Structures are given as C-alpha cells and as structure tokens.
C-alpha cells in the first residue's frame, strides 16, 4: 500500500543529572568536590533512505522515545551518553512541525536532527569557588525536545507523465521501463504513483513517474489527481500526454484542462518545462489529432505509440536532454540543504512580567537553567538567585513590587520568592 502522509511524535532523551560527591581518600584530607557530569540524552534524526519508498511503516509505530543520559558518578566520573535514534524515511520526505516546514530531505542520505537530546547536568565539582569550597548541589539534566511531526512524501523523479485518464500513461511507462503498472481499458486504472527507471544507455538513466489521471476539478479534489499532484512538483520535466484517439477539438480541450489543473494546483507546476505528446499513433485518426495540436500550439509536438514503441525512444531522448538542461540550471542555483528551518539562536534576554497570582520570568537561557536547577536544596536555590541577580531579573522583580513569599514562575518551574 502506498502511504504518503504520516504523523509521528518524537521525544529526545533527558540529560543525566550531575552528581554531588566529595573525595574520600586516604592521605587526601581535603579532597574537595568530585561529582561527575551527567551524560547527554539521545537525539532523534530523520535519514533519507533510498530503500524506502512509502511512509507505511508509520501506520503502526507513531512514537519514538530516545533514552536519557546516565547520571554522573563520584570521582569525577561522567555519565554515559545515550544512543541516538535514526528514523529512516523515503527520499523526498518533508517534515512539518507546528504547521511550518521544518526539514526537507530532498536527497538520498540527507540527515537532519528533529529532536535534540538534553545536555547532562554539571556535577558539584564545577561550582567550587574560593569562598564556596564544598558546594552541595549539582545540576539536573536538561529535558530533551519533544515534537509532533507531520510527514509528507513527495516522490523524487526526474520526469513525470501527466494527462487525463486513459491517455496511455501507464502503457508508456511500461514500454520504456521495467515498471509494470496496471493497464486496462477503463479510467483510473492507476490508483497510486508508479516509478520506473528509463535507461538511455548503459550508464545513463533517469526516473520517470506516472500519476493517476487528471480530470476537470482535480485540483479541488475531483477524482484522484489532487492527492498525487504533489508527487510531480519535484520533477524537472513534465510529459503532457494527450489521448490520440480523441478528435482534434476534444484533444485540445483535454490538454487545456490538464494545464489548467496544474496551474491551479501550484504555480510551480505551471512553470515546469513540458513536452507535449500525442499517444496512440497506431490508430488511423491519431495523426490528424497530432497535426491539429502542432498547428494550434505553434510548437513541436511528439507523437508516439506505446503499444508498438513507435516514437518512444525519441520521446525519452528528448526528455533526458531536457532533464540535463534543467539539472544544469538547478546546479547553478544555490542549494539550501535538507534543513529549511534552522534552529533559532538562544537569546540571553530576560523578561519579567506580573501575573494575577505571581510573577513570570521568561527567556530561553534562564528557562533552561531553571529546568536544570534543583530547587529542593538551599544551595541550588542560592545559586539560581545569584544567576537572577547577575541577569538583572531580581532588580526587575523589585521594581514590579515582588515581595518574599510571592510565587515566581520560570518556564514550567515555580518557586517561592525569598
């Protein structure tokens, strides 16, 4: 079954907690703090695997959780980092997060991190100073990221065959490649995109895709075309196949309908390079249809018969030439890479706001620090208060009228102001 949409939840691992420990060794009377750092939590990656062709594996497994990092140990021993999770997806997969495009894995082997594992907390060895030689607190591990991803597949093909039902698209694909799509004399025999490799020479080939037929209103959900039109958005060249068995007037109307549906679906499809082709040239009246299209379009139109393979080699050669020209133009343009939405830099700005039942301190760095602070220890609270003082947040709280006993919220943590 061809599945081109899926929804998954990814949860990276939390970082391991730092350790509170002191050296207890013979002949080392004042060993000092020796708590080790926690290990990093496992991250989650998407990998474009050429062996995958659909998103069907995500129909049953929709949640991926990475392991947390190991806690720090005594004697300055650092906790072990957790293993990352790599999720294979078909090349051409787009990942959306919060309705926005997060990553586009448009090349085989492309790899992108979609949920970053939390950093390990620092052990108490890092908090020793000349005036605080026995710190009795350590950091907690940073929580790992969690995201809901909407995956959408757009097949990677060099050229696409587009046309109305029964125009001969599947027959053409079967005649020029090793693909074996269903061929029958009734509409919509193709129910899902079909890929085939067309070999021009021993070491020269390209990928051709056949999508279900387009009828009027396909871009608005009529028929099957609307569901699969996005699979030709990545094609460099479109082969517009017109049914040669139709009278000239109907053939021109069919071509106009297909072009109109492509334009309505996406301006990108309307701007694609196209090769207009008339099929079924083995029929008596098909040549008149071909001549009428050439005259109406005032441009070269190719004629083929997929059943007898007449003209198919010339069509594939012209398609390959057009692909090479478009590929050269694409190579000259700057390639943005698989990640389309880079991670924003962490801001050090701290904001303080008054709420009906307390005060809220917000800011990326301060919220991350609060998540990693152990508020159950006096030393941990005192360390966090010193950070707030250095950031200017305490001064802002005083200006807003904060008093001892008021509730202060930082991210998801809440504590009583002292």
Query: Does a structural domain hold residue 133?
Result: yes
User: Are 138 and 224 in the same domain?
Assistant: no
DSSP state letter for 17: P
> pLDDT tens digits for 63-82?
999 999 999 998 899 999 99
User: Are 53 and 188 in the same domain?
Assistant: no
C-alpha dihedral sign at 17, 18, 21, 26: positive
In 3D, which of 344, 381, 351 has the Cα closest to residue 366?
Answer: 351
Query: Does a structural domain hold residue 338?
Result: no
DSSP per residue, 175-199 = HHSS------SSS----S-EEEEEE
Residue 140 predicted with pLDDT over 90: yes
User: Are 208 and 314 in the same domain?
Assistant: yes
Q: What is the CATH number of the domain that holds 42?
A: 2.70.210.12
Residue 348 predicted with pLDDT over 70: no
The pLDDT value given to residue 333: 53
Q: What are the φ/ψ torsions at residue 289 (nearest 5 degrees)?
A: -65, -40
**The total number of structural domains that make up the chain:** 3
Final residue belonging to a domain, choices 332, 363, 398? 332
Query: Does a structural domain hold residue 310?
Result: yes
Q: 351-355 and 302-303 as β-strands: parallel, antiparallel, unpaired?
A: unpaired
* Of 29-33, 69-73, 106-110, highest mean pLDDT: 69-73
Domain holding 21, by residue range, is 1-153
User: Are 11 and 102 in the same domain?
Assistant: yes
Query: Does a structural domain hold residue 303?
Result: yes
Burial of residue 35 (number of CB atoms within 10 Å: 0-12, 13-18, 19+): buried
Tell which wins on pLDDT, 179 or 11.
11
Evaluate whether 397 touches 353 at the Cβ level (below 8 Å): no
**CA angle centred on 317, ends 311 and 323, rounded to 5°:** 135
């Amino acid at each position: 079954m061809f599945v081109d949409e899926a929804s998954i939840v990814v949860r990276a691992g939390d970082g391991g907690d730092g350790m509170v420990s002191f050296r207890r060794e013979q002949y080392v009377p004042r060993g000092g703090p020796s708590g080790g750092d926690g290990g990093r939590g496992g991250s989650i990656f998407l990998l474009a695997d050429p062996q995958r062709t659909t998103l069907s594996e995500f129909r049953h497994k929709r949640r991926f959780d990475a392991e947390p990092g190991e806690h720090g140990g005594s004697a300055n021993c650092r906790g072990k980092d957790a293993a990352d999770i790599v999720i294979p997806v078909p090349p051409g997969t787009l990942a959306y997060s919060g309705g926005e495009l997060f990553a586009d894995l448009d090349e085989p082997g492309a790899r992108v991190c979609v949920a970053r594992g939390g950093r390990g907390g620092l052990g108490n060895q890092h908090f020793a100073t000349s005036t605080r030689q026995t710190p009795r607190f350590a950091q907690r591990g940073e929580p790992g990221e969690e995201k809901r991803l909407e995956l959408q597949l757009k097949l990677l093909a060099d050229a696409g065959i587009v046309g109305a039902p029964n125009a001969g698209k599947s027959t053409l694909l079967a005649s020029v490649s090793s693909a074996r799509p269903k061929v029958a004399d009734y509409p919509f025999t193709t129910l899902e995109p079909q890929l085939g490799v067309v070999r021009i020479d021993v070491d020269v080939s390209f990928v051709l895709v056949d999508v279900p037929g387009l009828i009027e209103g396909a871009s608005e959900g009529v028929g099957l075309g609307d569901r699969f039109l996005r699979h030709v958005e990545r094609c460099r060249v479109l082969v517009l196949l017109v049914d040669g068995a139709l009278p000239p007037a109907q053939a021109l109307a069919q071509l106009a309908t297909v072009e109109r549906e492509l334009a309505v679906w996406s301006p990108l499809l309307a701007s694609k390079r196209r090769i207009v082709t008339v099929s079924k040239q083995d029929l008596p009246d098909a040549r008149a249809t071909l001549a009428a299209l050439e005259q109406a379009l005032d441009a070269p139109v190719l004629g083929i018969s997929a059943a007898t393979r007449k003209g198919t080699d010339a069509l594939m050669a012209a398609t390959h030439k057009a692909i090479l020209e478009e590929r050269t133009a694409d190579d000259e343009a700057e390639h943005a890479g698989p990640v389309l939405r880079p991670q924003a830099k962490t801001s050090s700005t701290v904001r303080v706001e008054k709420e009906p039942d307390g005060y809220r301190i917000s800011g990326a760095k301060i919220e991350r620090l609060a998540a990693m602070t152990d508020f159950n220890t006096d030393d941990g609270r005192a360390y966090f208060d010193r950070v707030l003082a250095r950031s200017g947040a305490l001064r802002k709280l005083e200006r807003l009228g904060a008093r001892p006993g008021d509730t202060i919220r930082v991210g998801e943590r809440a504590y009583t102001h002292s």
